[in-house]
Amino acid sequence: MNKYRRILSIIMSTSILTGCSFSGHEEVKEEVVKSEIKESSYSQFTSEDGKVQFSLVNNGSFKEDILSRIHKQTLAAYEEILALTGHEIEEEKEILIQLEEGRGISMYMHGSIKLHNIGEQNEFLVHELVHALLGYDYQNAGYFTLDGLAMYLDRQITGHLPPNYFGHSSHEVMNYLKENGAVIPLEAVVHPEKRA
DSSP 23: G
Indicate the domain borders of the chain.
41-140
- Answer left, alpha or beta for residue 102, where phi above 0 means left and psi between -120 and 50 means alpha: left
- pLDDT average, residue stretch 19-39: 44
Answer for the pair 115, 124: CB distance below 8 angstroms, yes or no.
Answer: yes
Assign domain 41-140 to its CATH architecture.
3-Layer(aba) Sandwich (3.40)
Q: What is the pTM of this model?
A: 0.66
Query: Model confidence over 96-140: pLDDT tens digits?
Result: 999 998 888 888 888 999 998 887 655 789 989 998 998 765 555
Residue 167, pLDDT > 60, answer yes
pLDDT at 20: 43
Nearest Cα to Cα of residue 73 among 135, 105, 118:
118
- Identify which of 41, 182, 66, 76 has the alpha carbon closest to the alpha carbon of residue 120: 66
